[in-house]
Each structure stands twice: as structure tokens, then as C-alpha cells.
């Protein structure tokens, strides 16, 4: 997934009200950017962080910049826009580039369960495959990505609905997409959300498959990377 407009570097001043971030551009101007991430963004929203913004000239948008990346030491990046994983994964699924998830038809945002929408429904080759996607951005130990970064009742509901689809004879997949370039394995932050950790263990025991992939990230684009080992707590 290529960014629509070239990203520009900035320094984070503060993030507030979840969806707003005050930033300082390279020319010294201070602007407010949209932050497309409702989570806690633990470890990613420290004042002074080097970040990358996507400008826009859409007259319908009040804010003319969107926060897309955090840059870390060593040239590593974290993607903070939670809408990006689905867009990047959709391109890879359609191209047949996701190991273990090849299907003739890829349908996003299909209604299922109790007033929910599955991120992707794969059909046309074997049983229907329900794929739920979560963006992973938290890392508290070098090389280890963790999900979630805050309590997620919605995420627990999705696990339960995947288990229900599996019980009905479908294939169900929980896919964690790590939006970081500095992690080589993935796990659940059970100390942050014990209920979610227990829910994932129950879903896995019920036959829900767990997958994890990282991303290739640059100020130009974000694309699906390699499969990562997933460690159940």
C-alpha cells in the first residue's frame, strides 16, 4: 500500500483527545494532525518523537495532515494508522501473496455474528474462511511485539465470533499484523488485558488459527512482510 502523497517528517509535541496530535514541521511551523489510532499508543506518543505525516489537500478534511509513522533508532519504523493493515493485507490477499490464505474470492467487511463485520471472507476454494485482523504496534521488549496495548472488549467479542464460525464448520483465522520493523516474534500482552489473553487461548483450543506477519515500512509505502512466530502466553 503506497501512501497517496509523500510523507513529511515532523516532531511530535503532544497527542490528545485520542485523535489529535500537535506537531512541529521541519520549517518550524506547528500544526495539528489527525491521529487514526484510538488505542493507547503506548511507547509511541512521547513528546519529541520523530514522526512522519501525510499531507492532504482535500477541502472536506479539516486537518491537512495525518500521522502515519513513528521513526525509531536504527532506521526502524512503526505504522500508527490502524486502517493501514487491512488495506495492505487486502492487496496481498488479492495477489495471492499470503501463505495459507489463498482463495479465488476476497470479500472485505462482510456482516456476520452479532452485528459485526469480518475483516475478510475468503470463498471459492474449500470451506469459507473468516479472517479477523488486528494491528500490533506495542513493543516493551526488544524484538517482541505485543497485542493489545489497552483493554479491548471489542477484540474479545471478535474472538468469540470466530470460535462460533469455526463451530459451524467454517475456517476461522485470527491474524496479527505487526506494524513494526524491529520485531521478530509476537505474543499477547496478558498483563494489560487478561480477559483477551484467556479469550485467545479458548479460541485457539476451539480451532481458531492464529497467524502473525510483519510489515515492510518506509515513508513511501507499507506492504505485507514475512510470517512471524506467535507465542501464546
Could you write out the DSSP letters of every residue in 159-179? HHHHHHHHHTT-EEEEEEEE-
Domain that holds residue 166: 84-231
Mean pLDDT, range 15-39, rounded to an integer: 95
Regarding predicted confidence, which is higher, 152 or 102?
152
Residue 189, pLDDT score:
98
Q: Is 24 a residue whose pLDDT tops 90? A: yes
Average pLDDT, the chain: 95
Q: How distant, in Å, are the alpha carbons of 97, 155, 170 from that of 163?
A: 25, 13, 10
Please check whether residue 3 lies inside any domain of the structure: no
The residue among 79, 104, 129 that closes a domain is: 79
Residue 39 sits in the same domain as residue 113: no
Judgement on whether residues 49 and 26 belong to the same structural domain of the protein:
yes
Last residue of a domain, one of 52, 79, 106: 79
The reported pLDDT for the residue numbered 21 is 97
Whether pTM > 0.75 for this model: the answer is yes
Residue 101 near residue 94 (C-beta atoms within 8 A): no
Burial grade of 113 (CB within 10 A; 0-12, 13-18, 19 or more): middle
Residues 147 and 33 in one domain: no
CATH number at residue 25: 2.40.50.580
Contact 87, 135 (CB under 8 A): no
Please tell me the distance from the alpha carbon of residue 74 to that of residue 48, in angstroms, as a whole number: 17
Instruction: Identify whether residues 95 and 75 lie together within a single domain.
Output: no
pLDDT tens by residue, 74-129:
999 999 999 888 988 998 999 999 999 988 999 999 998 778 899 999 999 889 99
Whether a cis peptide bond, with omega within 30° of 0, leads into 146 is: no
Q: Are residues 104 and 204 in the same domain?
A: yes
Total number of domains constituting the chain: 2
128: closest CA among 168, 170, 87?
A: 170
> Which range, of 69-73, 124-128, 129-133, averages the lowest pLDDT?
124-128
pLDDT classification of 204: cutoffs 50, 70, 90:
very high
Residue 2 lies in a domain: no
Does residue 221 lie in a domain region?
yes
pLDDT band at 58; cut points 50, 70, 90? confident
Whether 168 has a pLDDT exceeding 90, the answer reads yes
Quick one: the chain helix, strand, coil %, rounded to 5? 20, 45, 40
Average confidence (pLDDT) over 223-227 = 94
As a whole-number percent, the residues of the chain with pLDDT over 70 amount to 100
Amino acid at each position: 500500500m503506497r501512501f497517496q502523497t509523500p510523507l513529511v517528517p515532523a516532531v511530535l509535541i503532544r497527542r490528545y483527545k485520542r485523535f489529535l496530535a500537535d506537531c512541529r514541521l521541519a520549517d518550524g511551523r506547528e500544526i495539528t494532525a489527525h491521529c487514526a489510532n484510538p488505542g493507547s499508543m503506548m511507547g509511541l506518543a512521547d513528546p519529541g518523537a520523530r514522526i512522519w505525516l501525510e499531507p492532504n489537500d482535500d477541502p472536506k478534511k479539516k486537518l491537512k495532515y495525518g500521522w502515519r509513522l513513528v521513526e525509531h533508532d536504527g532506521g526502524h519504523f512503526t505504522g500508527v494508522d490502524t486502517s493501514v493493515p487491512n488495506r495492505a493485507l487486502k492487496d496481498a490477499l488479492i495477489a495471492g501473496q499470503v501463505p495459507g490464505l489463498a482463495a479465488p474470492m476476497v470479500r472485505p467487511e462482510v456482516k456476520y455474528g452479532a452485528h459485526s463485520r469480518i475483516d475478510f471472507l475468503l470463498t471459492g476454494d474449500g470451506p469459507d474462511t473468516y479472517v479477523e485482523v488486528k494491528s500490533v504496534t506495542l513493543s516493551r521488549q526488544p524484538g517482541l511485539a505485543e497485542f493489545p496495548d489497552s483493554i479491548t472488549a471489542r477484540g474479545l467479542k471478535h474472538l468469540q465470533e470466530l470460535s462460533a464460525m469455526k463451530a459451524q464448520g467454517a475456517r476461522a483465522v485470527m491474524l496479527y499484523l505487526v506494524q513494526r520493523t524491529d520485531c521478530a516474534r509476537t505474543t499477547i500482552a496478558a498483563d494489560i488485558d487478561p480477559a483477551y489473553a484467556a479469550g485467545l487461548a479458548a479460541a485457539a483450543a476451539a480451532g481458531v488459527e492464529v497467524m502473525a506477519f510483519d510489515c515492510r515500512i518506509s515513508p513511501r509505502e507499507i506492504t505485507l512482510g514475512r510470517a512471524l512466530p506467535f507465542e501464546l502466553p
